[in-house]
Amino acid sequence: MEFFVRFILVLLNIVAIIIEPIVVWLNGEEKKKIPAAKNPLINLSANEVIYRIRHGELKSEEIVKVYIDRIKEVNPYLNAVIEDRYEEAIKDAKRADNMMEIVAPEQRAPLFSRYPLLGLPFTVKESCALKGMSQVVGNIHRKDYRANDNGKSIELLRAAGAIPLLVSGNPEFCMSWETSTHLFGKVKNPYDTRRTPGGSSGGEGALNGAGASLFGVGSDIAGSIRIPALYNGIFGHKPTGHLMSIKGHFPNSIDPNMGRYLQVGPMTRFAQDLPILTAVMAGDEAAKMDLTTRVVTKDIKIFYMDSNGFTLTHKPVDFDIRLAIMKAVAYFKKSGCQTEKADIRNMSNAIEISMSTLLTLKDVPSILVDPKGDPVSILNLSVSFYQNQPIKKSYIASFDWLESEIDLI
């Protein structure tokens, strides 16, 4: 197995070296500059929005419309939206505002204790299951598929009062470090539309990086939150295994180790929002984490690497990335942190280790098996690929929990 994995990686590197200049030439696109955000509300963190809504300084409908307008403004450049629910989101926001009007000011503290994200808009990676919305995940045989229920983390966010606006792009079966599919096309980086936003949570990375999402929900098994966070200049968190439920995510597996590697997590422009978002999305598991204790800088010890060593299977770390790492280390050291260069044994074998680990997972869906479980031949897959054109649809999902709460008051 080890020899086979290494042979495939070396072969892929050789192919990449040969075809990369050809692909760059064929895809010679003009760099487009996305419009700057003009509304100052875009610059508020989720915590600041919560404060303003709670104190009557901002209405949910207003912030929801601000983000809808921003999405419509930048998505022609990014191609990050697969399916939206804007009309229903505005109705949800009006319900949240009605609740605020009904509840007396002195009752708002317990209201926000129960609904800590009341009225906040957010966006969702398509693979994470938003009820009634597309969950095609780039696959031709799933092109009309819709999620029957909310994924667990989405359910928790909605129960906390947050309002989903859309589902965003991801590669087929989330198995790529860029975001491009035949059905939905290529998602682009907001800083340079000729470049990738990363993957597999590339749609969320692009939207958040463009100021078109207050926060988003991504998923990560091998960098799918962390890579788009890096590429789009935002913050993303992949929690420790089994802290977040992956119920409803596609692809998934009955293998008990799946939840150890695959996790759902928040993506946002504001690091200060990560604790509350993580706590809400973790549900009962949040009790296992300490998200409120302030960390003293001098108590932090940072281990870093600027290279994984030379092998034929890995590309060397880019000079600009190494320079950025050293700048960050110098900053942390100046701020009082302890820093130490790490020498992690076998890091040069990281890709082989991770690939071998993922290959041991059982019952992971394959593009060569249709949703009914029947095998798909390469020929039939190719024919389907060329017969199908990119699809765009709109769907309005329900939002009953808030309406029922208003009835109870």
Is 238 in contact with 217 (CB distance < 8 Å)? no
Q: What does the alpha-carbon distance between residue 57 and residue 49 come to, in Å, rounded to a whole number?
A: 9
Is 112 in contact with 118 (CB distance < 8 Å)? yes
Is 133 in contact with 148 (CB distance < 8 Å)? no
Q: What does the alpha-carbon distance between residue 150 and residue 163 come to, in Å, rounded to a whole number?
A: 13
DSSP summary character for residue 199: S
Taking 3-state DSSP, the helix, strand and coil percentages for the chain, each rounded to the nearest 5, stand at 45, 10, 45
Structure tokens at 22: 């050809």
DSSP 2-16: HHHHHHHHHHHHHHH
Catalytic (active-site) positions: 125, 200, 224
Name which of 87, 74, 72 is nearest 35 in CA terms: 74
Calculate helix-pair angle for 2-26, 350-359, nearest 10 degrees: 110
Name which of 208, 221, 228 is nearest 122 in CA terms: 208
Q: What does the alpha-carbon distance between residue 188 and residue 314 come to, in Å, rounded to a whole number?
A: 25
Q: What does the alpha-carbon distance between residue 74 and residue 70 come to, in Å, rounded to a whole number?
A: 6
